[in-house]
Amino acid sequence: MPFKVIKQNILKFNEDRADKIRRTLDKRGVFMVNIISSPGSGKTTLLEKVTPLLKSEEISFAILAGDCFTSNDAVRLDKAGAKVTQINTGNACHIDAQLIQKALKEVNIGELDFVIVENVGNMVCPAEFDLGEDCKIALLSVPEGHDKPLKYPLLFKESELVIINKLDLLKQTDFDLEQCEKNIFKVNPKVCILKMSCRNGRGINAFVKWIKERISNKNKSFDLATS
């Protein structure tokens, strides 16, 4: 039988689009993160808590909130005072670069310092799709168990920051915090870990500080590139 050698990445179309997004954001010095976690781990609550703090720091930001069908999260974030664009993925369990391209057209990126993508709740599929972000953030909550980093290594390997949320529930569960950190470092020894409880506020300020530093680093490289 005749054979044709192709040798191409199956996700090339997505990756080409993601590169385009990255170049657009780099040109304007906009920092973008892609937050990935299981459903119910606290992504939206975290963003609700962070919104007023970012506003008081005069950081101009937009949230692109992914959800299969509803706009529940976008409504919550809108109430909290954030600029939100809803991305409904329908049957898809993740956001891809094409959806981000579309959503970015609805926000004026020239006015922004920062874009937050709240991905669809899922630890497997979203990790596969590059969205053109500067970095991925993995969010893991105490009730999910400390073995998650080993079960979903791709997400934890690709993330620059891991947030362990719902620490207020430590006493009610068998979650082993030390073992969890060991598991995270096993797949990604260089990652930064932030311990958090959106309920009692622990770690929220540290997260805002991390965001501010990353925005300022991006601005610096942007200034260097344009000067």
- Residue 96 or 144: the one with the smaller Cβ distance to other proteins is 96
Q: Is 130 in the site for other proteins (CB under 8 A)?
A: no
Please, what is the minimum distance in Å from the beta carbon of residue 125 to other proteins? 4
Q: Is 7 in the site for other proteins (CB under 8 A)?
A: yes
* 3-state SS, residue 64: strand
State the amino acid at position 41 in one-letter form: S
Q: Is 129 in the site for other proteins (CB under 8 A)?
A: yes
What b-and-e string marks burial along 102-127, b requiring 16 or more CB atoms within 10 Å of the CB? ebbeebebeebbbbbbbbbbbbebbb
What does the alpha-carbon distance between residue 21 and residue 28 come to, in Å, rounded to a whole number? Answer: 11
Q: Is 3 in the site for other proteins (CB under 8 A)?
A: yes
Token duo for residue 145? 């168990």
What does the alpha-carbon distance between residue 114 and residue 9 come to, in Å, rounded to a whole number? Answer: 30
Q: Which of residues 187-226 bind other proteins (CB under 8 A)?
A: 187-190
Interface residue with other proteins, options 26, 28, 153, 222 (CB under 8 A): 153
- Residue 165 or 183: the one with the smaller Cβ distance to other proteins is 183
Please, what is the minimum distance in Å from the beta carbon of residue 7 to other proteins? 6
What does the alpha-carbon distance between residue 161 and residue 138 come to, in Å, rounded to a whole number? Answer: 6
Phi, psi of 217 (to 5 degrees): -60, -40
Q: Which of residues 54-93 bind other proteins (CB under 8 A)?
A: 91-93
- Footprint on this chain of other proteins (rule: CB under 8 A): 1-14, 91-94, 96, 122, 124-125, 128-129, 150, 153-154, 157, 185-190
